[in-house]
Structure 1
Amino acid sequence: MYAIYWGCLIGGSLFALTTIIFGDVLGDILDGVMDSLPFEQLAFMQPMVIVGGVAVFGGAGILLDRYTSLDILPVFLAASMAGVLSSAVTYFAYVKPMKNTENSTGFSIQDLVGKIGEVIVPVPAQGFGEVVVRAGAGNTNQIAASLDGEELAAGARVVVGDVREGVLYVFRYDE
């Protein structure tokens, strides 16, 4: 059993070292594999969680085998519990909260329809100005024209009514 514990500890440590060096490439490959699982109940099966638990299992097995007088079965069970517990802590304290905080700054201009913005460069009745609209995790400045032919002064709040050829067609926002 001692060799199995050492194998788990060394394998987990090598995986961690490889992840540090080749993290982006390896993480993308394994993350995509785990994302393809259809069951929501298996969401905890992230590479970091699984390999971390295996490494803790190996380390706990080595320590318990060497420094206690327990037999093989109690050492195996205690090391298994330590691995499962460390995996649960890793998942609930790190992986799950980090997954919920992912933000993207990317957006489609079509997503701006219905959003409220503010005119920063006056929009003439027949011409173009500029508006700032909240999109994704930030703000975006876009070329704008009046949807209903009304002149819009700087500072006016507007609603994006349509998008055509990369231009936002806006109208005054009435609260």
Structure 2
Amino acid sequence: MFGYPIETVYLFVLIVSGSLTFVYILLSDILDGIFDVPDHPFFSPQLIFSFFTVWSAAGYLFEKYTGMPSTVIGLVSAGIAFIVVLLLHFFVFIPLRSAEASLNYSEADLEGSLAKVIVTVPADGFGEILIERTSGAIAKPAKSLKNEEIAAGTEVIIIEMENGVATVAKHDPYHI
């Protein structure tokens, strides 16, 4: 093909597609913003680059270690690449996309949450609370609902979030 042995072509495609995949992983957010590529789940650049990487790797290995005809090798490699890309899409990329969305939270989501005071909340001022979530811990400035001092280490409940500041009250698990 193109005056080169097919093994060389497969190896060249493998190197180029593998390099482009690596660069895309590093710069995907920037490249998506610059080129404004519509986000289609089956025609995303990472899937296309992955397809060519797996196709060329399988083709190179089959050419090197088997005696099958080149057309059969090309078709078998394309089938393997298609299956690998489908597995990547459904078991890696889709879960990653949904996990990325689940890390976001709004201030309204924090209302009603339990937190721990890490910097004492004075009667007429601001302290700091720590909210433990599945995605990590969040520290927020806090003020007391009843203008009373709340000591560090006290468990509180977030009554309201306003402009990034939590209005909190002492949490009494025995009082409903």
Q: TM-score range by the shorter chain?
A: 0.5 to 0.7
- Counterpart residue number, 2:138: 140
Inter-partner Cα distance in structure 1 for 2:115 and 2:148: 16
For residue 24 of structure 1, the aligned residue among 23, 26, 37 is 26
The one-letter amino acid of 1:127's match is G
For residue 149 of structure 1, the aligned residue among 147, 150, 154 is 147
The one-letter amino acid of 2:31's match is I
Inter-partner Cα distance in structure 1 for 2:104 and 2:70: 57
1:62, distance to aligned residue in structure 2 (A) = 5.4
1:172, distance to aligned residue in structure 2 (A) = 1.6
For residue 33 of structure 1, the aligned residue among 32, 37, 45 is 37
> Cα–Cα, structure 1 residues 8 and 51, in superposed 2: closer, same or farther, change >3 Å?
farther
SS of the residue corresponding to residue 114 of structure 1 reads coil
Inter-partner Cα distance in structure 1 for 2:161 and 2:24: 42
Aligned residue-pair number: 168
Inter-partner Cα distance in structure 2 for 1:27 and 1:145: 38
Inter-partner Cα distance in structure 1 for 2:131 and 2:124: 21
> Cα–Cα, structure 1 residues 135 and 58, in superposed 2: closer, same or farther, change >3 Å?
closer
Aligned residue runs from structure 1 range 42-61, under 5 A: 43-61=41-59
Identity %: 26
> Cα–Cα, structure 1 residues 152 and 77, in superposed 2: closer, same or farther, change >3 Å?
same
- Counterpart residue number, 1:40: none
Inter-partner Cα distance in structure 2 for 1:165 and 1:91: 39
> Cα–Cα, structure 1 residues 141 and 89, in superposed 2: closer, same or farther, change >3 Å?
closer
User: 8 Å contact 1:121–1:129 — kept in the other structure?
Assistant: yes
Unaligned runs of 5+ residues in structure 2 are: none
Unaligned runs of 5+ residues in structure 1 are: 38-42
1:162, distance to aligned residue in structure 2 (A) = 1.9
Aligned residue runs from structure 1 range 22-171, under 5 A: 23-26=25-28, 28-29=30-31, 33=37, 36-37=39-40, 43-61=41-59, 64=62, 67-70=66-69, 72=71, 74-91=72-89, 94-96=92-94, 98-99=96-97, 102=100, 109=107, 111-134=109-132, 137-171=135-169
For residue 172 of structure 2, the aligned residue among 168, 171, 174 is 174
SS of the residue corresponding to residue 33 of structure 1 reads coil
> Cα–Cα, structure 1 residues 19 and 144, in superposed 2: closer, same or farther, change >3 Å?
same
Inter-partner Cα distance in structure 2 for 1:100 and 1:80: 28
Residues 11-20 or 91-100, more deviating: 91-100
C-alpha root-mean-square deviation of aligned residues, in Å? Answer: 3.9
1:101, distance to aligned residue in structure 2 (A) = 5.1
1:50, distance to aligned residue in structure 2 (A) = 2.3
> Cα–Cα, structure 1 residues 68 and 112, in superposed 2: closer, same or farther, change >3 Å?
same
